[in-house]
Chains A and B, each alone.
Chain A
């Protein structure tokens, strides 16, 4: 028995990888449809956007790259669609060099779904190097970091951008990221220019941003696929996050079960080792 448990504790990690793979694939093929509850930080982001009057300017910085698409795309889509439905004027951009492709795809797809016109309802500014410099630059005048949009059109030639200067004209900045960029938005855009900042981040980074939430430096926070599923539910556009919830529930449960079994086995082995010594 002891030897068996010992072997179990030292088992090849590929067996665990195999279990994880099954736990993800099966619920994606056969969905269970677990219910999603709404948490306060997500509701706060929703309310902050929902309460804005039509025509308000919103900056959505899609600061993520292809790697985190599965986790962050669902929340980006839900937020973009929410803003378009509220007829807000949406400015999208990215602060990651690998971001333009992802950001353009999200912006254009959602604009098409909600029948929005480029240059009048939304603009896509693309990428500019230097995170802090770009955020500070927008605070002075958006034309400093972005004299043109992603497609080379001068900012002043876009009807929507006439009369827009800086954060003073912006109701809220929403940053979606798997990196530490949201902290830069708080430090430079909120602290220095007092614009409201909300963010959507990967689950593994979410705990990093809770301090900003409590201090009010962020108006709300969407964490991981679960947060995205909540936002999808609030906006009424169930999408990939909703589907992913089953898989995530199963994987979390699997990890918990593995930890429990691992601990039981560990204690039995340790006890028998002690007895053996005694």
Chain B
């Protein structure tokens, strides 16, 4: 029963939502709107569970004095302080919550994102080699696109942004479409597998060999 009921609900909802897509009647639309409402509510509750999860993991680390428990303590304090100031003083601009956001969160996250520039430069230097004919083609394309995306490319020749645009519009697009069609079919197939109960791993049923 523990397995059958979720499978039944899943199949029922899956098939109902497919049928709903083809019925424009107001009753069908009302049903659809209700389902969207449910979805939003369920997602919101999942966040509460997520916060409980992170709090528990770090609490266990601190209480058991596991390796690096100090970092867990920092995480727990940050979580509690942010939650407290958010509930106590509100979340409008100028309030402590937004100050934490603007002066701690924003610079820290931007720093993480900016690491990308450093990593790309180093990865490109270490791995971008014209070992084969295909790799050479790739390298030339990369150089043109890189130049085409910045003013210096336009200064070297006005044709560079145009060629860069062509590379993105034609060969890039063709390859991407191919993968997208596969992804689309894979999605439908996965959807059908779940609705029909062929794929049950989301239930925790692994099976197989």
The total of interchain contacts (Cβ-Cβ below 8 angstroms) comes to 166
CB-defined contacts of A268 to chain B, threshold 8 Å: none
* Given A20-B121, A140-B29, also A129-B176 (CB < 8 A): no
Whether A252 contacts B110 by the Cβ 8 Å rule is no
B129 partner residues in chain A, CB cutoff 8 A: 262-263, 266
Which residues on the B side are within 8 Å of A68 (C-beta)? 110, 113
Chain B facing A: main interface SS: helix
Given A34-B152, A69-B106, A248-B150, are A108 and B43 also a contact pair (CB < 8 Å)? no
Given contacts A224-B149, A253-B152, contact A137 B33 (CB under 8 A): yes
* Residue B44 at the chain A interface, CB threshold 8 Å: yes
- Residue B25, interface by CB 8 Å: no
Give the Cβ gap from A273 to chain B, nearest Cβ, in Å: 14
Query: Is B14 positioned at the interface, with any CB of A under 8 Å from its CB?
Result: no
CB distance from A8 to the nearest CB of B (A): 10
- Shortest beta-carbon distance, A256 to chain B, in Å? 5
Contact B125 A101 (CB under 8 A): no
Interface of A is mostly: helix
Query: Which residues in A have their C-beta under 8 angstroms from that of B154?
Result: 35-37
The reply to whether A210 and B125 form a contact with Cβ atoms under 8 Å apart is: no
For B131, give the chain A residue with the smallest CB separation: A266
The 8 Å CB contact of B173, one of A98, A203, A210, is: A210
Contact A254 B33, CB 8 Å, known A66-B110, A210-B169, A259-B128: no
C-alpha gap A43/B130 in the complex (Å)? 36
B33 with A101: CB separation less than 8 A: no
The answer for the CA separation of A210 and B174 in the assembled complex, in Å, is 10
Query: Within the assembled complex, what's the spacing in Å between the Cα atoms of A170 and B152?
Result: 39
Chain B interface residues (CB < 8 Å from chain A): 29, 32-33, 36-37, 39-40, 43-44, 47, 91-93, 98, 101-102, 105-106, 108-110, 112-114, 116-118, 120-122, 124-126, 128-130, 139, 142-143, 146-147, 149-155, 158, 161, 165, 168-169, 172-173, 176-177, 180
